[in-house]
Amino acid sequence: MRKFEFSQNLRRLPPYLFAQIDRQKQELKKNGVKFIDLSIGDPDIPAPKKVIDTLYKCAKLKENQKYALDQGKYELRKAIKAWFKGRFKINLDENREVLPLIGSKEGLVHLPLGFVNKGDYVIIPSPGYPGYRGAAIFSGARSYELPLLEKNNFLPDLDKIPLFVRNKAKIIYLNYPNNPTTALAPVEFLKKLVKFCAKYGIILAYDNAYSEIYFEEKPHSILEVKGAEEIAIEFHSFSKTFSMTGFRIGWACGNKDLINGLLKVKTNIDSGIFGAVQEAGRIALDEEKDYVSNLRKIFKERKNVFVAGLKERGFEGICSQATFYVWAKIPSPFKSSIEFAQHLIKKKRIIATPGVGFGKYGERFIRFALTVDKGILKKAVRLIGGK
């Protein structure tokens, strides 16, 4: 049988972290082993009932069973505009500055295909969402790994980016509230970031998927910063805000030329979002503000229980400012985050995500997802602390 070789880009791509974790879970299930899954950010809380009812009703309509418009339904774009104005006081043009997506991951990964040429740099945070690295590789770009260090509150030091990288960089990805570190970005940093990108002509791809999962301080939109409309495109997710992970719907908004470039890429790759899913998304934005408030309360309770338990067991460097994750240093006897993650799987039957899977600067950290019931989290933290 003839053997086919992967492309150079595909060979450059590291194994996808969550696919590896999923294989381990499947192996445990196959062997009948019970485990606690604190690995992937897939909430256990059902999507809003109105959203489910709308999806069911609208799926029966023939108009929603046809090809969707690449730009998305006008009604959905209007709902996004209204939600954004209510949340961030920013008035978007629904025809030129809003683009519904088949999940924010899709847009984040497709963006470089519209703007990056071979030899350009894409700046990716480390630790950071693995999709950013894949986006850079598929576009043929060179990657520059930007450290997010604990001593800097997991904010990048833009001044340390080499001049040759700045001058050849086409896109920088950043994500606050941050996955995996949970850190928030203060306004002063966002202002510096916008000025930096404007000075060097760098596109700012601001991943704001966790904008509504916070506990005290409200996260910001990058578009609240003066000048951001010239260089930024921001991504939002129904997955995190409304627990609609499997629906695959999100949006991009911001600079009209960046939106137009992403739309041109999508026009040649996909055929839009299922119309019934778009209607479900519109209902979520228009009518489910109480749902989001309750979601925050649930995750705050879970976070408080889990963090208190980790502290009692001597964990250090715990960060849980926002999102539904807890980011913590691994215990000192362990030499690497992978070693500790394997210890949790084999000895405790707990699946968590090793920090190094998010980039080399994530080493010596572990990420726990708070996507199980509070009682299960209490059990998990007891197991983690045992011998």
Q: Quote the CA–CA distance of 30 and 237 in Å, as a whole number.
A: 32
| Adjacent-strand bridge partners of 63 | none
pLDDT tens digits along 196-236: 999 999 999 999 999 999 999 999 999 999 999 999 999 99
List, by residue range, all CATH 3.40.640.10 domains of the chain.
Answer: 49-288
Mean pLDDT computed over 115-134: 96
User: Which pLDDT score is estimated for 122?
Assistant: 98
- The answer to whether the beta carbons of residues 178 and 212 sit under 8 Å apart is no
User: Which pLDDT score is estimated for 30?
Assistant: 86
pLDDT exceeding 90 applies to what percent of the chain?
88
CA dihedral 188→191→192→198, nearest 10 degrees, is 180
User: Which pLDDT score is estimated for 25?
Assistant: 81
Show the 3-state SS of 23-89.
HHHHHHHHCCCCCEECCCCCCCCCCCHHHHHHHHHHHCCHHHCCCCCCCCCHHHHHHHHHHHHHHHC
pLDDT tens digits along 300-323: 999 999 999 999 999 999 999 999
Q: Quote the CA–CA distance of 36 and 101 in Å, as a whole number.
A: 32
At residue 22 the predicted structure's pLDDT band, cuts being 50, 70 and 90, is confident
List, by residue range, all CATH 3.90.1150.10 domains of the chain.
Answer: 8-45+290-385
At residue 386 the predicted structure's pLDDT band, cuts being 50, 70 and 90, is low
Domain 49-288 falls in which CATH fold? Aspartate Aminotransferase; domain 2 (3.40.640)
- The answer to whether the beta carbons of residues 232 and 255 sit under 8 Å apart is yes
Q: What DSSP character marks residue 272? A: -
* Neighbouring C-beta atoms of residue 332, cutoff 10 Å: 9
CATH code for residues 8-45+290-385: 3.90.1150.10
Q: Quote the CA–CA distance of 90 and 85 in Å, as a whole number.
A: 5
Across all residues in the chain, what is the average pLDDT? Answer: 95
pLDDT tens digits along 63-103: 999 999 889 999 999 999 999 999 999 999 999 999 999 99
pLDDT tens digits along 318-342: 999 999 999 999 999 999 999 999 9
User: Which pLDDT score is estimated for 134?
Assistant: 94
